[in-house]
Structure 1
Amino acid sequence: MRENSLFDAIPPEKLIFVNRNLRLSSIKMIGFDMDYTLAIYRYPDFEILALNKTIDRLIQKGYPESIFKREYGQEYVMRGLVIDKVNGNVLKLDKYNFVHRAMHGKRHLSYEERYANYRNKKLDLSSDDFLWMDTLFSLPEVSIIIDAIDNIDRQGLSRSIRYYELINDVRRSIDEIHQDGTLKSIVLQDIQRYIEFDPNLPITLHRFKSNGKKLFLLTNSYWDYTNAVMSYLLNNRLPEYPGWTNYFDIIIVGAGKPEFFNSNNNFFTVNTRTGQIKPLQTTISAFIKGVVYQGGNILDFERLSAIKGENILYIGDHIYGDILSSKKSTLWRTCMIIPELENEIRITKENIGVIKRLNKMEMQRIILERELNKLRYNLKYGMSNGIKRQFEMKKGRFNRTLQMVERKKLEMAARYNRYWGSLLKENNELSKFGAQVEDYACVYTSRVSNFMNVSPEEYLVSPPKLLPHELEIDEMAERG
């Protein structure tokens, strides 16, 4: 029997994946974001709604309806893409900010175009010229931008509608419909259509609490929306918890992340009947269970909760607002929720044979290239001795192998996404998004309820990280 046979029955898409060792027994308090963490929005229903409401807002701002498409182009979108606002291009980068794929409208940029625009240039993704699509809420934004730029070019409108202003207006419009209640009011009218109910979520939270861990909610959504969504997810699901607020020791709405992690914003208390807020009394020395808070900052949070640093695990979906900011500002441990992981793992499982053969072909290509370079060196420095014919044969074999490997790589990548490939990988490197997950998330998984598959006392251990020389030795050992 294999040593890990206890876990063989757990589907890979339900596992917790570990970047840095995490001893759950040392975690005293666990925090949760709400949107796309506890509340998973149904795909693509929510995205279609957001797309249409954003287009309505853009038309109100004076944009011609002819440049927009009311169909959500889900094959063109992916989290982790970067928008070049100056040139109107959508980019996929690897961990080193190398642009591997790019589209202008619905047209792929050629290697020569990518080289001319982005090679030998340092891309400053923090500048206003770039927009990183790092949240699931940004997916409709990508679809709108790709369709609009494609139609602007086709209709000859690029002089009257500048890419830069259009892209900024798309971002402003999608922010507006999230903030002014346009989207949320429709979601609440038919909440089952737009938000999944996960029957294992209440049980997962109960297991944490039964193990003595405190739970807190830290969401940017305000009270009315939070209350409606959380009531749908948790009210009357377990007899021990008649209302959703009973699951949580601390509830903070309107947190204003990422500012929560690096500001001195004050806490307020929320009147849950009227929605009105009032400043938290400075004499308060601890959070009171059952009271709903708004705003605040991490320093006051740790003081009032009397728990800090690595004794806190925070679970969220937003690489910047939830994960990166909390890691840079605190010693909190982090878990990133990646709903797309379920589909990524499914495709990998279905194509595992292809992937293994491709990896083997890649190793053959590397070996052939080494042998070819050695022959080239001997020819260059006069040590020919009849090896020219050998060189030409090896060169032909190498070129055929290289072409086959590149073709198979593209075919395999297209099974994840026709235009962008895998969410977390790009060629043999991590994608920009994948690198952020590796750098800032201690652990990651597809949904909160996957914690049902581990003990609340579990020691989550990361797999060995091998350096290139160790991988080379390992490969040599396998070849005998």
Structure 2
Amino acid sequence: MHIRLQTRFSRIYRLTYTKVGEERNRIGGFKYQHEVGCSSLSGTGKICDHITRSSLQAVMAEPALAKNHKEKRVFRFSDYDCIGFDLDNTLCRYKLTQMVKLEYEVLAEYLVTQKGYNAEYLLKPLETDIDFLQKGLVFDFHKGNILQLGSDGYIRKGSHGTRFMTDAEIEGIYGPDRKWSVSVAFCQNLLEAWNGPMSEKIRTLSDYFDMPAALAFGRIVDSLDVKEGNKLEFYNVWPDVLDGLIYMFKRENFHLDTGGYFSALKRNPEKFVNKCSNNVINWLKQIKHSKVVFLLTGSHVDFASFTATNSLGANWRDLFDIVVCYARKPGFFTGAKPFLKLDGLTETDPIGSEDLEFGNIYSQGNWQDLYQFLAKKTGLQHPKCLYVGDNLIQDVYAPSEYTKCDTVAVIEELGAEGMCGDDTYFHSDASIIVSECWGSYFGGKEEQRDGSSLWGIITKKYSKICVPDLDVLANLPLTNEFHMFSQREDDSDLLGYYPGCPKSLKQT
């Protein structure tokens, strides 16, 4: 788990970047310093104005031999020397109906009791508006609007509070082209809105941990409009919702048994955590037999150990050569924060790549040091690396855009919404992650324009393949050949979805 949060009165992170020396430019990065206000969670900070996306990519460039830009359109796990996995919602899958309900209830209770918002709105059962939930929605904080974006910042759909806006209303607010300057800039560089000045205007709900915040935010806006008898000129709701997320997810809560969320999971893990199948566990063992396998998670070591034990089993550490917790993605892939040793649950001394060892667990760190460690252990100057994860910003966009680590996207909506050519796939929590009112997470062919959502485009552009879960891969040999995404605009660009493309993208 790695939730990006910002304190109400000050940013969690204040980032200072300096160019990394030539020796480190081989694998890229910026040095930066974090000053932590709420050390448990990923924060937002203002990136120096002179640092541009192009300059970042220039500094982080690797030798051409590290990645051939004319790659074949075939993907094989066997082609990689090192394979890494995210934990939450990748290896460890949650019972999402129960988990999202818990998250909403804890958040709503906090907003009523600690922030004084209207219980009549917030404490309504989640089920009343369950179809309003969707991963990947974007907040326009100040207008009280919730948006679904296309790839270029185009507003595909939008609501004010929980009331969906008409096309005329969207165009009246954002212009006839339905583009908000902030959403356009966000789509051009997803990390600018993660850490930069845009983070004060826009926020995306990128995974199942913060997905319920959309309904809480929307219901508060509804209540304020009714109270005032009209729309407000300016909404200042988000700082309070953010405080509620911090209250739930700050990393000290697991150890202290506070905040409502972690304590509920600890009391009854079977209610919230799915057991990983034997097929996937055996698949990991098979990979480890011939590859270096690493676990890279945003969760603090105590929560990561808890979820890994309950999903992968008591011997979960044997599945990985090295484990990195509290990785603070996406910054892990763009910065140079040192790895920290662990004394039990306590972070201790910083450690360089030359002192990392197989069999250990570390905290924080950065990709460039991990890559140097992997190069040393494999004996290869440029080992070919792959990372498998669910969060399209943290796990797919960041490593693919800012390093030469390839990615596989694990998106549960692919199975829950339905795949072409596979009517047998069943997702037990489809009702909470599939939304009729927002439409497909991936977009749809039936609409004007190309119909793709921002997340559909990110998936195709930055991952090699996309799967609904790891079980669909586990019975296949590592040499199995998958069609990769092609970057073409015709239907061949859908071949990277496995075992089938989203039904919404094949509709006419």
Instruction: Calculate the TM-score normalised by the size of structure 1.
Output: 0.72
Q: Secondary structure at the match of 2:93?
A: coil
1:326-376 Cα deviation digits (max 9, x unpaired): 11221101011111211111699669xxxxxxxxxxxxxxxxxxxxxxxxx
Q: Secondary structure at the match of 1:139?
A: coil
Asked whether the equivalents of residues 267 and 297 of structure 1 are also in contact (C-alpha less than 8 Å), the reply is yes
**Once the 2 structures are TM-superposed, how far is the Cα of residue 465 of structure 1 from its aligned partner?**
6.2
Asked whether the equivalents of residues 327 and 363 of structure 2 are also in contact (C-alpha less than 8 Å), the reply is yes
- Distance, in Å, in 2 between the alignment partners of 1:95 and 1:56 is 35
- Distance, in Å, in 2 between the alignment partners of 1:104 and 1:32 is 37
1:32-87 Cα deviation digits (max 9, x unpaired): 11111111111211011111111222231333433413422320011122222122
**Inter-CA distance 158–262: structure 2 relative to 1 (3 Å threshold):** farther
- Distance, in Å, in 2 between the alignment partners of 1:336 and 1:196 is 19
The answer to whether residue 247 in structure 2 is matched with residue 168 in structure 1 is no
Partner of 2:119: 65
Partner of 2:407: 334
**Inter-CA distance 71–311: structure 2 relative to 1 (3 Å threshold):** same
**Letter paired with 1:109:** M
Of residues 434, 438, 456 in structure 1, which corresponds to 2:456? Answer: 434
Partner of 1:419: 437
Of residues 218, 224, 238 in structure 2, which corresponds to 1:146? Answer: 218
The answer to whether residue 475 in structure 2 is matched with residue 457 in structure 1 is no
Q: Secondary structure at the match of 2:212?
A: helix
Asked whether the equivalents of residues 187 and 194 of structure 1 are also in contact (C-alpha less than 8 Å), the reply is yes
Of residues 337, 340, 347 in structure 2, which corresponds to 1:277? Answer: 347
Asked whether the equivalents of residues 74 and 484 of structure 2 are also in contact (C-alpha less than 8 Å), the reply is yes
**Inter-CA distance 419–339: structure 2 relative to 1 (3 Å threshold):** same
**Once the 2 structures are TM-superposed, how far is the Cα of residue 467 of structure 1 from its aligned partner?**
5.1
**Once the 2 structures are TM-superposed, how far is the Cα of residue 194 of structure 1 from its aligned partner?**
0.6
The answer to whether residue 174 in structure 2 is matched with residue 118 in structure 1 is yes
Q: Secondary structure at the match of 1:429?
A: coil
Structure with a larger share of its residues in helix: 1
What stretches of structure 1 of length at least 5 have no aligned partner?
1-17, 237-242, 352-414, 472-480
Partner of 1:408: none
- Distance, in Å, in 1 between the alignment partners of 2:288 and 2:134 is 35
**Inter-CA distance 94–43: structure 2 relative to 1 (3 Å threshold):** same
Q: Secondary structure at the match of 1:251?
A: strand
Asked whether the equivalents of residues 19 and 441 of structure 1 are also in contact (C-alpha less than 8 Å), the reply is no
Partner of 1:303: 372
Q: Secondary structure at the match of 2:247?
A: helix
Report % sequence identity: 22
- Distance, in Å, in 1 between the alignment partners of 2:135 and 2:489 is 28
Deviates more, 1:102-111 or 1:434-443: 102-111
- Distance, in Å, in 1 between the alignment partners of 2:464 and 2:492 is 24
- Distance, in Å, in 1 between the alignment partners of 2:216 and 2:244 is 11
Asked whether the equivalents of residues 251 and 291 of structure 1 are also in contact (C-alpha less than 8 Å), the reply is yes
- Distance, in Å, in 2 between the alignment partners of 1:83 and 1:231 is 35
1:397-421 Cα deviation digits (max 9, x unpaired): xxxxxxxxxxxxxxxxxx9632111
**Once the 2 structures are TM-superposed, how far is the Cα of residue 163 of structure 1 from its aligned partner?**
6.0
**Inter-CA distance 348–111: structure 2 relative to 1 (3 Å threshold):** farther
Q: Secondary structure at the match of 2:142?
A: coil
The answer to whether residue 135 in structure 2 is matched with residue 79 in structure 1 is yes
> How many residues are treated as equivalent by the alignment?
380
Of residues 286, 296, 303 in structure 2, which corresponds to 1:207? Answer: 286
**Once the 2 structures are TM-superposed, how far is the Cα of residue 251 of structure 1 from its aligned partner?**
0.6
**Inter-CA distance 302–82: structure 2 relative to 1 (3 Å threshold):** same
- Equivalent residues in 2 for 1:250-399 (5 A)? 250-272=322-344, 275-282=345-352, 285=354, 287-306=356-375, 311-345=384-418
**Letter paired with 1:225:** F
**Letter paired with 1:99:** I
**Once the 2 structures are TM-superposed, how far is the Cα of residue 459 of structure 1 from its aligned partner?**
3.1
Partner of 1:39: 92
Q: Secondary structure at the match of 1:331?
A: coil
Between the two structures, name the one with larger relative contact order (CA 8 Å, sep ≥ 6).
Answer: 1
